[in-house]
Chains A and B, each alone.
Chain A
Amino acid sequence: MRNHIKDKLYHIEILPPKQNSEKLEADIELFAEKYNRVMESGYCACITDNAMGHLSFQGTEMIEELELEVRPEQVMIHLNTFHTLEDLHNILDTCVAKGIKYLLVVSGDGSERLPKLQPADVGAGGKVESVTSVELLSYINRKYPGKFTMGVAFNPYEPPEHEFDKLKRKLDAGAEFIITQPIIEKNRVVDELLEKYPDVPVIVEAWMSKKLHLLSDAVGYEIPENTEFDPIETLKMLIKLYPNCGFYLSLLGFKTQFPLIKDFWV
């Protein structure tokens, strides 16, 4: 992951179509178009896993079904704990078969319709009450040794002591890089993270949508709607503020914003 930062390779979030899409074919086409643009631009496509608990198709099946090209350095699959064990292995086996090596392992947002991994599924029966990213990381490392480079999420809006404790457990379980929740200005807790873990690659998430209520939902912290916010200017500012970090762009506008970003991080 260090080389992604050194080579100034953006991480671009792409959401697969939702299961209940009424215009599935158009959504599939749009997904493929975005994915191919990210590949051609040399960036890393980060494909979400039922983001916000919305039932969506898996990144691996999109790649497989649409026969999309996988460039190993340019694809990251998000993986959360809301799967059956069989589905989890299907996803991981497809990643191995397709040469996908980067995983972002998160606990994830569930929904009534999504199954949840049970502690016994991942060899943690009797040790924990529910499976989090920590147990999932350990399990993947045991079952697929050396196959993946796994990252984890860091939320600077949580109480820092609690979040740093969680982060330590994630790193002990095998996480090799960190992606923060979106920040829109210099963040004291992110600064502390960088001081504490100078050797772990940190990727800062930049919120590229103007919809601040969605950002509030994403971070679980109320950001006033009247906050002045320009995503492009904020990205430029974050690049200056955090020169040793990578950048994960969520909800990036492919029509208007995508053509601009290449000039910011040089």
Chain B
Amino acid sequence: MKIVVCIKQVPASNDAKIDPETKRIIREGTSAILNPFDTYAIEEGVRLKEKYGGEVVALSMGPEKAMMILREAISLGADSAVLLSDRAFAGSDTWATSYALAKAIEKIGDVDLVICGKQAIDGDTAQVGPGIAAHLDIPQATYVMKVENVSSDSITVRRMHEDGYDICEMPLPAVITVVKDINTPRIPSLKRRLAAQKAEIPVWKPADIGAEVDKIGLDGSPTRVVKTEPPPSRNKKARRIEGSPPDCARELVRELRILNIL
């Protein structure tokens, strides 16, 4: 089974700033991490490989600095990694990004399953996974909380709902996006971490994946961010409860009941 896990580097802190001109996140000067939801995607890919055999390829698009998260993916169990990096990719929206990733997946070849985290914590769109499926014209299941079964030509998954779950069976190849309930990601061992530092990671440019330049970057992006505003600040009201510990506890419970929290 050949599995591609798509991952993204995102700003580490919650105080990422937005460029007022381009409306894009200012990534310079902020530390970056592997998108937390993608750790569950990597773990699921590695578990499926361990159960059914095959290989896991981690794939990301971004600046050279994104090599770091691909090494992290290898330390978490991916067998190899590929980075899409070129100025021509810069400014891609979710549609152009999913196009580029789909072209890379085609180049990797013979891929049975593509796994993404449910969304990235910076853009929060949850559109790239479904976009990849659309570009590759293969089935998709989003918000997957469990892989029930995999056969030679199909996959059965449990999709999370607010009110329960769906069981979906799809032919392979397919795309799934996963939620954090699906597994507990492993902690990388020192041995794997050291091996990952030495791994050779190819960097592919648009020509390497046969991408049409008018379908990537800003020009290939049908959407524009026209306005970005911070959410209105919440009116925080704090009340200090005074008294003996038992009295404070009683009063706290009473207040929480009034607010329908308990």
Contact = CB atoms under 8 A, between A and B. Distances in A.
Q: Do A and B bind each other?
A: yes
A232 to B, nearest CB: 33
A32 B193 CA distance: 17
A199 interface: no
Contact of B197 (A19, A24, A62): A24
Interface string B188-224: 1111011001000000000000000000000000000
A113 B190 contact: no
A19 B193 contact: yes
Nearest to A55: B187
A69 B148 CA distance: 46
Contact of B187 (A24, A28, A62, A87): A87
Interface residues of B, number: 11
Contact of A65 (B185, B186, B188, B191): B191
A115 B39 CA distance: 14
B191 A61 contact: yes
B244 interface: no
A138 B191 CA distance: 31
B193 A113 contact: no
Nearest to B191: A65
B184 interface: yes
Contacts, number: 27
Counting chain A CB atoms within 10 Å of each CB, the highest count among B184, B186, B187, B193 belongs to B187
A84 B184 contact: yes
A57 B193 CA distance: 10
A65 B187 CA distance: 16
B190 A61 contact: yes
A84 B186 CA distance: 9
A87 B188 CA distance: 11
Contacts of B186: 84
Contacts of A55: 187
A12 to B, nearest CB: 21
A52 to B, nearest CB: 16
B193 A24 contact: yes
A19 B191 contact: no
A65 B184 contact: no
Interface in A50-78: 55, 57-58, 61-62, 65
Contacts of B190: 28, 57-58, 61-62, 65
B194 to A, nearest CB: 8
A61 B194 CA distance: 12
Contacts of B184: 84, 115
Contacts of A84: 184, 186
Nearest to A22: B68
A259 B129 CA distance: 57
A28 B191 CA distance: 12
Given A61-B191, A65-B190, A113 B185 contact: yes
Interface string B207-246: 0000000000000000000000000000000000000000
Nearest to B188: A19
A173 B189 CA distance: 31
Contacts of B193: 19, 24, 57
A19 B187 CA distance: 9
A113 to B, nearest CB: 7
A25 B194 CA distance: 9
Contacts of A65: 190-191, 194
Counting chain A CB atoms within 10 Å of each CB, the highest count among B185, B190, B191, B194 belongs to B190
B236 to A, nearest CB: 23
A114 B187 CA distance: 8
Contacts of B197: 24-25
A114 B185 CA distance: 9
A120 B190 CA distance: 28
B159 to A, nearest CB: 24
Interface of A: 19, 24-25, 28, 55, 57-58, 61-62, 65, 84, 87, 113-115
Given A57-B193, A61-B189, 10 more contacts: A24-B193, A24-B194, A28-B190, A58-B190, A61-B190, A61-B191, A87-B187, A113-B185, A114-B187, A115-B184
Q: Which 3 A-B pairs have the closest CB atoms?
A: A61-B190, A57-B190, A115-B184
23 contacts: A19-B187, A19-B188, A24-B193, A24-B194, A24-B197, A25-B197, A28-B190, A55-B187, A57-B189, A57-B190, A57-B193, A58-B190, A61-B189, A61-B190, A62-B190, A65-B191, A84-B184, A84-B186, A87-B187, A113-B185, A113-B187, A114-B187, A115-B184
